[in-house]
Amino acid sequence: MTEVNQHQMPLRHVIDNTEKAIQVAKDAEMAVRHAQLESNPHKVQAALAEMEAAQHALHKAQGQMVAKDNDHHHQELAQVQDQLTQAIQSLDVTASNTHQPKQVR
C-alpha cells in the first residue's frame, strides 16, 4: 500500500500544481478586468504582468501534465487537462482583448 501512495504522490503533486495554476490564472484574469473597468493604467499594467506570470505557470503545469500522462492515469489527468486548456484559452482571449491605450496628445 505504501508503494502505491508513493507512486501516486508525484501525480497528485502535478494535479495540485495544475489546479493552483488554474486558480492563479482566474485571479489574474479578474484583476485585468477590474483594472480595465477602473481605467487605471498602473493597475492595468500590474494586472497584465500578473496575467503573464499566470500564463507561464499554466504552460509549466501543462508540460508537467504531459510528462506524467500515461494510460494508467489518463482518466484522472484528462479532466484537469481540460480545465487547464480552458484556462489557457481564457487568458489568451483576455490578453488579445487587452491593449494599452496610446497616450493622446
Q: What is the pLDDT of residues 24-34, one digit of tens each?
A: 999 999 999 99
User: Can you tell me whether residue 76 is helix, strand or coil?
Assistant: helix
pTM over cut 0.85 = no
43-97 per-position pLDDT tens digit: 999 999 999 999 999 999 988 888 876 656 667 778 888 889 899 899 888 888 8
